């Protein structure tokens, strides 16, 4: 795409600039160089730790390392198979997603980018006769295709209950979103729930009957279909039923909404979620400027707001042994000082809006 932006792209650009400015004002962002340094350091220190797309992590979880023997050998994995799935939740901005995809590709790190169909860049809205329609701009389409062309897996960041609350039929919104992404030539095999259960009273993945192991769900949040009917193979939380009664109640979890990203909330969300447990040994989240959360389920260890040195220590303790972990990134946390004019020149379109 070249020349002036169409009106939809101009609106998107204004929204993207505003969101990045807000995140920087809240001091929540690192720059892309920080992300690049961190990834290269992980690879240099722990060559036996194998970063993979989440679909590969799911196969490892579901069937074990023998099912991945050829693939792991091509990656240079050793028999112990220390697997690190890399999950990237694109909650708000598609420009940050495109930039970080280029960074991960340059570092040789495969990842899965989950695109949020309730985000402005997706622009899913009710069309004729109430049918959901994707109205994504040319710029958004180009950036999404760029992510796929870097070698990243693309999945859906499922916010089905949020869309239902805007008047959209849940199954129709899922089908429309997946159909549109696939029309771009991008295979979609997985989804991950957008983290909004404290608002909706249920996780978004619980729209699928595959995860109907929780009683007492709200009447308007019942499972409606299975993943296979939509051509989906996995949910990236790898949800499993609790083995014992969780510490927190569903009500306590929902009432924690004002403390998102706080230590109490993150502990509850990761270590003691009232609805489900995750099917991997540990996960690591980036939450701010050189701030991370480590949740090691196998070792019952939780660390909040630690720096990258602690993350490297955690990864080092897992490298060289059979393990499955997940690294969770949000692109907007790694785009401090993003130069939109430079980005525009890279993708060949004019900016209708610049930084204030």
pLDDT exceeding 70 applies to what percent of the chain? 83
User: Residue-wise over 289-310: b if at least 16 C-beta within 10 A, else e?
Assistant: eebbbbbbbeeeebbbebebee
| Whether the Cβ atoms of residue 105 and residue 151 lie closer than 8 Å to each other | yes
pLDDT of residue 347: 57
pLDDT of residue 78: 46
3-state secondary structure the chain: CCCCCCHHHHHHHHHHHHHHHHHHHCCCCCCHHHHHHHHHHHHHHCCCEEEECHHHHHHHHHHCHHHHHHHHHHCCCCCCCEEEEEEEEECCCHHHHHHHHHHHHHCCCCCEEEEECCCCCCCEEECHHHCEEECCCHHHHHHHHHHHHCCCEEEEEECHHHHHCCCCCHHHHHHHHHHHHHHCCCCCCEEEECCCHHHHCCCHHHHEHHHCCCCCCCHHHCCCECHHHHCCCEECCCEECCCCCCCCCHHHHHCCHHHCCCHHHHHHHHHCCCCCEECCCEEEEEEECCEEEEEECCCCEEEEEECHHHHHHHHHHHCCCCEEEEEEECHHHHCCCCCHHHHHHHHCCCCCCCCC
- Residue 53, token pair as written in the block: 């797309």
Nearest Cα neighbor of 100 from 314, 304, 298, 343 is: 343
Question: In angstroms, rounded to a whole number, what is the distance separating the alpha carbons of residues 121 and 141?
Answer: 9
pLDDT of residue 64: 57
Question: In angstroms, rounded to a whole number, what is the distance separating the alpha carbons of residues 282 and 326?
Answer: 7
Of 335 and 20, more confident: 335
Question: In angstroms, rounded to a whole number, what is the distance separating the alpha carbons of residues 303 and 281?
Answer: 15
In which band, very low, low, confident or very high, does the pLDDT at 66 lie, cut at 50, 70 and 90? low
pLDDT of residue 253: 72
Sign of the C-alpha dihedral, residues 71, 75, 76, 78? negative
Q: What is the mean pLDDT of residues 226-243?
A: 95
Domain boundaries of the chain, sorted by first residue: 7-347
257: pLDDT strictly greater than 60: no
pTM of the predicted model as reported, rounded to 2 decimal places: 0.90
- Residue 50, token pair as written in the block: 């194998």
pLDDT of residue 40: 98
Q: What is the mean pLDDT of residues 277-296?
A: 97
User: Residue-wise over 65-96: b if at least 16 C-beta within 10 A, else e?
Assistant: beebeeebeeeebeeebbbbbbbbbbbbbbbb
| 81-138: pLDDT as tens digits | 799 999 999 998 898 999 999 999 999 999 999 999 999 899 888 666 567 888 888 8
The mean-pLDDT minimum among 22-31, 45-54, 241-250, 252-261 falls in 252-261
| Whether the Cβ atoms of residue 113 and residue 314 lie closer than 8 Å to each other | no
Q: What is the mean pLDDT of residues 246-252?
A: 74
Of 274 and 76, more confident: 274
In which band, very low, low, confident or very high, does the pLDDT at 341 lie, cut at 50, 70 and 90? low
């Amino acid at each position: 795409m070249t020349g002036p932006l169409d009106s939809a792209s101009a609106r998107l650009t204004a929204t993207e600039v505003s969101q990045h400015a807000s995140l920087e004002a809240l001091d929540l962002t690192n720059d892309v160089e920080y992300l690049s340094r961190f990834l290269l350091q992980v690879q240099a220190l722990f060559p036996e730790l194998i970063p993979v797309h989440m679909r590969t992590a799911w196969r490892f979880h579901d069937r074990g390392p023998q099912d991945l023997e050829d693939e792991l050998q091509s990656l240079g994995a050793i028999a112990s198979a220390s697997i690190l799935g890399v999950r990237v939740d694109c909650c708000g901005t598609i420009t940050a997603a495109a930039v970080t995809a280029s960074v991960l590709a340059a570092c040789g790190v495969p990842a899965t980018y989950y695109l949020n169909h309730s985000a402005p860049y997706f622009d899913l809205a009710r069309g004729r006769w109430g049918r959901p329609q994707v109205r994504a701009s040319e710029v958004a389409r180009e950036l999404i295709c760029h992510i796929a062309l870097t070698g990243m897996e693309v999945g859906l960041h499922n916010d089905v209950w949020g869309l239902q609350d805007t008047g959209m039929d849940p199954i129709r919104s899922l089908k429309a979103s997946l159909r549109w992404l696939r029309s771009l030539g991008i295979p979609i095999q997985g989804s991950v729930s957008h983290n909004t259960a404290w608002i909706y009273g249920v996780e978004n993945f619980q729209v699928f009957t595959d995860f109907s192991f929780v009683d007492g769900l709200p009447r308007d949040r019942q499972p409606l279909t299975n993943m296979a009917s939509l051509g989906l193979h996995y949910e990236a939380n790898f949800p499993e039923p609790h083995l014992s009664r969780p510490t927190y109640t569903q009500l306590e979890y929902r009432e924690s909404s004002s403390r998102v990203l706080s230590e109490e909330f993150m502990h509850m969300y990761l270590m003691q979620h009232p609805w489900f447990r995750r099917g991997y040994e540990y996960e690591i989240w980036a939450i701010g400027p050189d701030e991370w959360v480590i949740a090691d389920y196998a070792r019952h260890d939780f660390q909040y707001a630690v720096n990258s040195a602690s993350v490297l220590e955690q990864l080092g303790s897992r490298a060289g042994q059979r393990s499955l972990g997940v690294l969770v990134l949000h692109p907007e946390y790694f785009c401090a000082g993003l130069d939109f004019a430079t980005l525009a020149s890279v993708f060949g379109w004019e900016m209708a809006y610049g930084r204030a």
